[in-house]
Amino acid sequence: MIADLAVRRESFLRCWRHSPGLTLLSLCCIALNSVSFAVVGLGLRAVVDGSIRADFSAIVVGAAGAAAAYTIDLVVGQIGFELRTHVVGRVTLTEVQPEVMRATMGVDTIEHLERSDYLDRIGVVRAEVWRVVDSGWAAIEAFVFVVRLGAALAVLATVSPLLLGLLVVAVVPLLLEWHGGRRMRDAEAAAAEDRRLERHLLALAIDPGAGKELRVAGAADRLLRRQRQAWESAATTVVRARLVASLWSALGWSIFALGFIGGLVLLVRQTAGSPAAGGDLVLAITVGAQLRFAVEQAVERSIDAGGAALVLAPYRWLREYHAGTAARGGPGLAPPARLTDGIVLDDVSFTYPGTDRLAVDRLSARLPAGAIVAVVGEYGSGKSTLVKLLAKLYRPDSGAVRVDGTDLADLDTAAWRAAMSAAFQDFGRYRTTVAEGVGLGDPAGMDSAERIRAAIRTAGAEEFVDRLPQGTDTMLSTQFGGVELSEGQWQKVALARACMRAQPLLFVLDEPTASLDAPSERAIFEAYMTRARAIRGGTGAITVVVSHRFSTVAGADLILVLEAGRLVESGTHASLLARAGRYAALYDLQAKAYA
């Protein structure tokens, strides 16, 4: 609560610093608006009283006051709203949104991108980040609307304390509408699954991949029928609830109208015969009629202010999580300029957050400087996890990864990343030009057309890139008016991206050729071997290749065989075959399958 208040205050101050003039103007509008409609009533009373007393100046002042207050009520409220929306929007887009993106991207590890509970929180913040900025305004406005309600009641009390009873009848429609609103929300929640399904089926219908299958199978009509059913089911639930909510609302309004008329009748009976009562009557009618809206605004904005807490909580979590991981990472030590000893995995264990199974289980191995190391094993044996630990995308639960004797945890994360290159199994498909998509592998070198070409050459992508309509300037993906690539071509672009750094200390290839045909895979792997041998001289670079295909990695200097997160064998291809253990059995199995 206190922490939320601090964020609200900070958000409001951001608006103030960003646009002090507009913020001040908007605040003035809110303040003026808070008293305007009570002043309309007072002005009209002055007019009526003035006409009874034949007091011309009272009539003029009253009419002018009422007219001004009425204009303010109609216009200034809207202007204040527009100004606030403008400032909130600008601060959201220029300050808070980028901060959220930085916090999401700036976390060293990727746990928050792989855990569904973290993703849910990030999703809420990203979708409703404007509410963080609006939260300060919502609190101010909620307070001002309560003051506005108080002012209206105070004015009514000057006529007769009896009229305070109008507050009760003004609350009744609100409660009934709230009840109807809750039914609507329940209905929306009940219809959410059908809506999701409906959107998903519609997206499938226009998805190029599914589109092919649906055409071949002739299943498009069937799919659209299912989509329509889902839509109708969702619509029926919501429309029914809307109808019920309207009935509750009509009932509430009727009660308010009856109570209001009752209050006026009482007032008339109390003041019957008194000529001075005309002004009071007009004031009671004007202010009383608006009372329900005053209550509604006060409640709505209070709910808004309270509802912002739903976004403020994950927003604070994201900031603290980011700050916490940054503090853990610290400024860190610089990685060595070249590896002399190598990387040692010392009794490393790791369990993914939210799971209880060890993905890497007490693994110890030495990856000598300059070595080409292959990591092999069956599905789910922990190969990619090992690679992520080397890239510092996760930290071991126990044990340590040592780089030339220094714990990887003590190395500066950004500097370590700058000293390595990686192509991952689930590589990114950047919808950019080829040159950008490759160059982003090393932002420092992405302006060099030569380096981009060299990376493309190393990845074996030169031939297909040269055939593209604008070569390296070709836009990728038809979504942006460019060309669509095959799976294998996308993978070659990702590989080229990983080749942008000329002298990395660690070069990681996690299943870099899974989408490629066997000859392409072989050619690329050989190119990598050549490259790995070339770069190891300069920096003692270690190349780690993860692969399912044992034949591809037979030329590696060291092969690590994983099973259920454990290292079960290690050695060269020849030594492992001679050992006739797990590696030999799997190699044999694959050789027979390919034969």
Ligand X SMILES: Nc1ncnc2c1ncn2[C@@H]1O[C@H](COP(=O)(O)OP(=O)(O)OP(=O)(O)O)[C@@H](O)[C@H]1O
396 is an interface residue for ligand X by CB under 6 A: no
Estimate the crossing angle of helix 487-498 against helix 518-539, to 10 degrees. Answer: 10
Choices 154-162, 382-390, 438-446, 457-465; region in contact with ligand X by CB under 6 A? 382-390
513 is an interface residue for ligand X by CB under 6 A: no
Site map (CB under 6 A) of ligand X, residues 101-140, x = contact: -------------x--------------------------
359 is an interface residue for ligand X by CB under 6 A: yes
State the minimum distance, in angstroms, from the CB of residue 328 to ligand X.
20
Q: How far is CA 249 from CA 21, 288, 289, 302, in A?
A: 40, 19, 16, 20
d(CA 352, CA 383): 14
Reduced to 3 states, what is the DSSP secondary structure of residue 253?
helix
380 is an interface residue for ligand X by CB under 6 A: yes
439 is an interface residue for ligand X by CB under 6 A: no
Size of interface with ligand X, in residues (CB under 6 A): 13
381 is an interface residue for ligand X by CB under 6 A: yes
DSSP bridge partners of 475: 433
How many Å separate Cα 441 from the centre of its chain?
24
455 is an interface residue for ligand X by CB under 6 A: no
d(CA 479, CA 205): 16
d(CA 98, CA 102): 6
Contact with ligand X (CB under 6 A) among 84, 121, 292, 383: 383
Residue with tokens 């003692």: 540
227 is an interface residue for ligand X by CB under 6 A: no
Site map (CB under 6 A) of ligand X, residues 462-481, x = contact: --------------------
Contact present, 346 and 362 (Cβ < 8 Å)? no
Contact present, 529 and 522 (Cβ < 8 Å)? no
384 is an interface residue for ligand X by CB under 6 A: yes
Q: What's the start-to-end Cα distance of the chain, in Å? A: 68
Choices 184-192, 277-285, 383-391, 402-410; region in contact with ligand X by CB under 6 A? 383-391
d(CA 586, CA 573): 12
Contact with ligand X (CB under 6 A) among 385, 413, 491, 570: 385
Q: Cα torsion at 490, 494, 495, 497 (round to 10°)?
A: 140
Tokens of 470: 């604008």
- Judged by beta carbon, residue 395 or residue 531, the one nearer ligand X is 395
Choices 130-138, 198-206, 240-248, 380-388; region in contact with ligand X by CB under 6 A? 380-388
**Pairing status of strand 542-546 against strand 506-510:** parallel
382 is an interface residue for ligand X by CB under 6 A: yes
Contact with ligand X (CB under 6 A) among 70, 130, 253, 352: 352
- Judged by beta carbon, residue 60 or residue 113, the one nearer ligand X is 113
Q: Residue numbers of the site for ligand X (CB under 6 A)?
A: 114, 352, 355, 359, 377, 379-385, 425
